[in-house]
Structure 1
C-alpha cells in the first residue's frame, strides 16, 4: 500500500517521548487557531484590507491541513514527510509573496512584481525539493540554486522595486513592509539551515546532521503566523484611520 494512502488504515499514535511528533501536533493546533482568528476578524476591516487578511488566513489554513497529514505520516512511519511539506510550501510561500504585492498596491505596485516574486519562490522551492529528495548526491548544487532564488527575493524586497514602493507609501505600509522583510531575511533563513542539516554536502562537516523537522516546524509556525499578524496589525491601524476620517 502506498504511503500516500496511509490515512486509510487509521489514525497514528504519538508516543509520550516523541518530541518531533509533538512539534507537528503543536504546529497543527497553532495554524488552525491562527486561521480561525484571521477568518473571524474579516468583518471588522475596511474592504481594501480584507483580501490581505483573508490571504493570511488561507496561508495558515493550508498549513494546518498539511500539518495534520504530516503529523499522521510521521506517527505512522517515523520518517520526515518531505513530500507533504513541499506541497504545503508550494502553496503557502507564493501566497506570502502575494502579501507584499497586496500591501504595496496602494503605492502603485504592478502585476509584474507579483509574478516575479511568485516565480522566484517556486524556483527556490522546486530546486530545494529536487536536492532534498531526487538528486541527493548533488544536494549542494541544487541548494545553491535555491539559495540564489531566495536571495533574489531578499534583494527585491530590501533594495529593489518593492522597497522603493514601500518607501513611497510611507507610514504604516512602510513599517509593515519592513517587518515582513525581516521575516524573510531572518525567518526564512532557517529553511536553508534545515536543508543543510538534512542533506550531504560541503557543509555537513561543519553543521553535521540533525532533525530537519523540528527546525522546519518551528520556522513555519513563526513565519506563517507572524506574517499574518503583521498584516492584521496593518489592517487594524488602516481601518481605524479611515473611521476617524
Structure 2
C-alpha cells in the first residue's frame, strides 16, 4: 500500500534513488550506442537489445519519478517537513510492471543472443523463456496493487512458479551451450547467470516486505529502494557485462579485428599522455 505520508528523509531517499536509476539506464544506453562498432556484427543484436532495455527503463523511470513528485507534496518552507499525498494524485506503481513486462523477457533475449547459438536452438530457448518471464510479471502485479497480504502472498507464490522454471532453463539448458563458447568467456557467462539470479532475487524480497511485518512508510521506501537497486544491476550492469562478453567473443572469433581494436585501445592512453605532456 502507498503510505499517506513520508518524512523528509524518506522522500529524499526515494527521490535520489529514482534519479540514480534514470542516470544509470540513460548513460549505459548512450555508452552502448557509441560502442556498438567495437564488436562484430553477429553480436550486435544482443547489444541492440540491451540498448532497448536501458532505454525502456529510463523512460519508465522518468514517468515513475514524475508520478512520485506529483503524489507527495509538502507545505513546509524549504521542503524539509512531512510529505503527504496530494489531493487527487497517487503514485502509479503500474509503470514498474509495464517496464518489467517489456524488459524482463528482453533480458533473456540478450543472454541468448550473445551466445550466438544455432537459430533453431535460439528459437527453442526463447519460446520457453520469454512467455515464462511475461507470465511471472503478470502474476505478480495483482498482488502488488492489493492491500490484502493474503492476496499478495497467493500471487507471489503463483509468480514464483514461472520464476523457478526460468532458473531451471538458465542453469540446466544453457549450461550445455557454455561448452561451445570460447574458453575466455565461459566463466563470465556462467557468472552472468548468477548475477541475473542475484538481481532478480531482490524483487521478491522487496515484494514480500509487507508480509515480513515491515509496515507503513518504511516498507514502502525499502521496496522502492530495493526495486531501484535491482533494476540498475539487472539492466545497466548486466548490459555492460553482455557487452564485455560480446567484445571478448569478437576478439576470439576474428584475430584481425582484435588486433585493430587492441591497437586503438593502446593508442588512446598514449594520445592522452602526449596531450598531457604538451600542456
Q: What is the TM-score normalised by the length of structure 1?
A: 0.84
Deviation readout 1:52-80 (Å, 9 max, x if unpaired): 11111111111001111110100110354
Q: Indicate conservation of the 8 Å contact 1:127/1:146, yes or no.
A: yes
Q: Distance in 1 between matches of 2:202 and 2:179?
A: 27
- 2:19 aligns with 25
Q: Distance in 1 between matches of 2:22 and 2:198?
A: 23
- 1:181 aligns with 193
> Quick check: 61-70 or 96-105, which moved more?
96-105
Alignment of 1:199-238 (within 5 A): 199=210, 203-205=211-213, 210=219, 211=221, 212-238=223-249
| Distance change in 2, residues 1:33/1:68 (3 Å) | same
Mind listing any 5+ residue stretches in structure 1 that lack a counterpart? 1-14
Query: Residue 88 of structure 1 is aligned with which of 75, 79, 99?
Result: 99
The answer to whether structure 1 residue 99 and structure 2 residue 99 are counterparts is no
How far residue 106 of structure 1 moved from its aligned partner, in angstroms, is 2.9
Mind listing any 5+ residue stretches in structure 2 that lack a counterpart? 1-7, 73-89, 257-279
Q: Indicate conservation of the 8 Å contact 1:53/1:232, yes or no.
A: yes
How far residue 84 of structure 1 moved from its aligned partner, in angstroms, is 0.4
Q: Indicate conservation of the 8 Å contact 1:31/1:221, yes or no.
A: yes
| Distance change in 2, residues 1:172/1:135 (3 Å) | farther
- 2:32 aligns with 38
Q: Distance in 1 between matches of 2:128 and 2:61?
A: 28
The answer to whether structure 1 residue 143 and structure 2 residue 151 are counterparts is no
Q: Distance in 2 between matches of 1:168 and 1:237?
A: 15
- How many positions carry a matched residue from both structures? 225
